[in-house]
């Protein structure tokens, strides 16, 4: 029996679920929906760095799953579906996306990160309407949305973690747990849709169907929406930001589209559909496409009706509208790239002027008060504040006057405030004072194939740090940058694998000791040596005062020239990409000769995709045309294996740095 009258709207239509998930199958079956299951062949390998928000990744993955099935069925199954449903569930915490764990260690890393914390479970859903035309071509119109549920884990002991992992339950579930089974024991509370955590937001899905087939819609009724309807068959993976759901952070409310719904032919946006088996779908005027609701942060629906009439549109009107929309988004994407340097400079300037520190100490200041605090002009300050609001770095709230009051956003509180443990202000200063100037010579460097560093200094050797450490100011600025990167990326690298079997570690080129102190904290039985140049060790106390942890020590030396300290585990974090192949092989050979069987070598870098199409952070860094090069995980693994190490684990951490662990044969 169909329990939900909305579900009955799909009666008589060929509905396909593009998922093999037994949980989604059970949820939809339990409400009486009749459908076929055709698992999608879409490889869930979208570049996460291209998406500004985690939910955009989930929605686009769901969309690609559904479209792949919709396009394949007419050829492989010899029938065209009416409706294809795609879904993708992810877990996010601190901006990181957690999908299904690759192995037990990956599950341990995920669950350890969730322990004692609140996280989000996001399910993106895509509904593809397939409309076969008289000329046998098929139009695809997509409605998508996402649902978010907040989940809080209890503090989990090591025993509980491993007992749960050993049960095998985490291995096929986003975030490494299933709330409907044993994983429910890990959960302290949830806020939102329980079934969304299981894998499919049934309540939201039914509301969406109600919008699609709402019999109350009358002629010339206008629906406003902020999510696309997609009639284009162009594959958007080439440019994920070409979909309206992938809006710029500068636009908190994406542009709304107006669609006129006409009752019946010939102006129905989705005319009667004819399938390959000769049957025609029911001539239902409500089959006209109505765009979906976007995610509502407080459960409010982003849909409103306007009573004003607009000229009716032709039967292909929404298609024309969608094509124009795609073109508009393409233009926006290009403009974002063109203006990217302005956004960077606004960020650097606000950071250098300590805007975020000021507002952290005195939140809710008006523009004039901020100008006085910065000792800057009112006009210039207001322009900078407004730009930062548009970039999501600040929030403006209603105040006594029209200008409003300014506060730091969550993003700024975490990364742009001096006393934050995750502060990247040092890296901002390095990017502004050093990298910015280097990249102004990019064209010449590309034409000549010369190192950018060499274009702005007297550097004549392949020693990357000759100019970087030429004076204490530049050296200290660079060390602050590396300290910030290690503080942010270090935890993900340190917990990527279980390193507890190693009792001593040596962080080669460990700079300020940030990674070393993180290791000592994560592994109480481990002692760590930071090995770096004498001039670096001399300044290390500025960052980690002596006595902070007696299991962390500093040793001065040159890892190319001097003998390496003995250790069970050696760490090369952001080291290998800087040097020539000869230098890399010399260093790895030296480490291999020092190691005994069973010793470990942890390499942490930005791992390029195998086909070198991403991530953009690594490929943009490679534009520096330094003596070294960026590599994929496979290439780093091959390097280690050529020097007697067996790669035991590889982790793409979704943080700034990835990790690879090799063990000496």
Tokens read off for 28: 């939809």
**Cis ω for the linkage preceding 456 (within 30 of 0):** no
Tokens read off for 630: 């960026």
Residue 664 pairs with which residues in a beta bridge? Answer: 645
Phi, psi of 159 (to 5 degrees): -65, -45
Number of C-beta neighbours around residue 622 at 10 A: 17
Distance CA 264, CA 160 (A): 60
Strand order in the sheet with 394-397: 365-366, 405-408, 394-397
88 is annotated as an active-site residue: yes
Kind plus residue range of the DSSP H or E element containing 146: strand 138-153
Kind plus residue range of the DSSP H or E element containing 131: strand 118-132
Distance CA 149, CA 154 (A): 16
Tokens read off for 400: 């006594």
Distance CA 329, CA 324 (A): 9
Distance CA 419, CA 237 (A): 39
Q: What Å distances lie between residue 620 and 241, 328, 425, 439, 630, CA to CA?
A: 19, 26, 20, 10, 10
- Are 268 and 288 in contact by the 8 Å Cβ rule? The answer is yes
Spot the catalytic one: 82, 88, 144, 578: 88
- Helix-helix angle 104-114:158-166, to 10 degrees: 140
654: left (phi over 0), alpha (psi -120 to 50) or beta: left
**Dihedral over alpha carbons 610, 615, 620, 623 (to 10 degrees):** -10
- Are 659 and 633 in contact by the 8 Å Cβ rule? The answer is no
Return contacts of 177-184, CB within 8 angstroms, 24+ apart: 177/111, 177/114, 178/23, 179/151, 180/23
Tokens read off for 225: 């929406």
Q: 94-131 in b/e burial notation, b at 16+ Cβ within 10 A?
A: eebbbbbbeebbbbbbbbbbbbeeebbbbbbbbbbbbb
Q: Are strands 527-532 and 504-508 parallel, antiparallel or unpaired?
A: parallel
Distance CA 100, CA 111 (A): 11
Q: For the chain, how far is it from start to end, CA to CA, in angstroms?
A: 63
Kind plus residue range of the DSSP H or E element containing 394: strand 394-397
Total residue count of the chain as it appears in this document: 665
Q: Which residues are catalytic?
A: 88
């Amino acid at each position: 029996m169909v329990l939900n009258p909305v579900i009955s709207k799909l009666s008589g239509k060929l509905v396909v679920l593009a998922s093999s998930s037994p949980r989604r199958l059970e949820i939809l079956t339990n409400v009486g929906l009749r459908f076929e299951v055709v698992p999608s062949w879409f490889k869930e390998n979208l570049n996460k760095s291209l998406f500004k928000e985690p939910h955009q990744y989930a929605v686009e993955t769901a969309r690609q799953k559904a479209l792949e099935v919709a396009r394949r069925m007419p050829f492989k199954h010899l029938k065209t579906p009416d409706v294809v449903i795609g879904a993708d569930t992810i877990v996010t915490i601190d901006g990181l996306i957690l999908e299904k764990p690759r192995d037990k260690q990956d599950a341990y890393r995920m669950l350890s990160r969730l322990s004692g914390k609140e996280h989000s479970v996001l399910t993106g859903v895509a509904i593809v309407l397939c409309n076969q035309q008289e000329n046998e071509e098929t139009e695809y119109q997509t409605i998508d949305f996402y649902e978010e549920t907040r989940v809080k884990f209890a503090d989990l002991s090591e025993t509980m973690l491993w007992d749960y992992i050993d049960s095998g339950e985490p291995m096929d579930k986003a975030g490494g747990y299933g709330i409907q089974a044993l994983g429910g024991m890990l959960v302290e509370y949830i806020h939102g849709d329980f079934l969304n955590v299981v894998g499919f937001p049934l309540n939201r899905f039914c509301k969406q169907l109600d919008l699609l087939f709402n019999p109350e819609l009358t002629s010339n009724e206008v629906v406003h929406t902020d999510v696309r309807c997609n009639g284009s068959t162009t594959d958007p993976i080439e440019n994920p930001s070409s979909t309206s759901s992938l809006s710029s952070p500068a636009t908190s409310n994406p542009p709304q589209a107006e669609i006129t719904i006409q009752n019946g032919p010939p102006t129905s946006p989705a005319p009667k559909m004819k399938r390959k088996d000769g049957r025609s779908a029911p001539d239902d005027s409500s089959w006209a496409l109505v765009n979906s609701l976007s995610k509502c942060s407080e459960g409010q629906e982003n849909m409103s009706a306007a009573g004003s009439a607009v000229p009716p549109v032709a039967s292909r009107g929404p298609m024309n509208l969608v094509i124009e929309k795609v073109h508009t988004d393409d233009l926006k994407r290009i403009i974002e790239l063109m203006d990217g340097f302005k956004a960077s400079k606004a960020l650097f300037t606000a950071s250098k002027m300590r805007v975020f520190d000021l507002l952290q100490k005195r939140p809710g200041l008006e523009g004039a008060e901020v100008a006085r605090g910065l000792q800057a002009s009112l006009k210039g300050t207001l322009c900078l504040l407004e730009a930062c609001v548009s970039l999501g770095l600040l929030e403006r709230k209603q105040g006594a006057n029209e200008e409003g009051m300014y506060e730091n956003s969550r993003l700024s509180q975490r990364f742009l405030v001096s006393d934050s443990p995750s502060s990247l202000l040092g890296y901002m200063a390095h990017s502004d004072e050093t990298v910015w100037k280097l990249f102004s010579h990019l064209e010449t460097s590309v034409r000549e194939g010369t190192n950018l560093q060499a274009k702005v200094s007297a550097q004549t050797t392949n020693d990357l740090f000759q100019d970087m450490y030429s004076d204490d100011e530049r050296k200290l600025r660079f060390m602050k940058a590396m300290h910030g990167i290690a503080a942010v990326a270090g935890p993900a690298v340190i917990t990527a694998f279980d390193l507890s079997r190693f009792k001593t570690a040596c962080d080669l080129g460990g700079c300020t000791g940030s990674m070393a102190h993180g290791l000592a904290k994560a592994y109480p039985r481990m002692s760590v040596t930071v090995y770096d140049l004498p001039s670096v060790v001399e300044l290390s106390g500025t960052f980690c005062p002596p006595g902070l942890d007696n299991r962390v020590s500093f040793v001065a030396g040159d890892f190319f020239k001097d003998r390496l300290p003995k250790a069970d585990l050696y760490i090369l974090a952001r080291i290998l990409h800087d040097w020539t192949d000869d230098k890399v092989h010399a260093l790895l050979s030296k480490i291999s000769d020092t190691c005994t069987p069973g010793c470990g070598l942890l390499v942490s870098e930005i791992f390029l995709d195998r086909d070198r199409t991403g991530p953009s952070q690594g490929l943009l860094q490679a534009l520096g045309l330094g003596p070294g090069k960026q590599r994929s995980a496979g290439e780093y693994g091959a390097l280690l294996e050529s020097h007697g190490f067996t790669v035991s684990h590889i982790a793409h951490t979704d943080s700034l740095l990835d990790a690879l662990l090799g063990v000496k044969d």
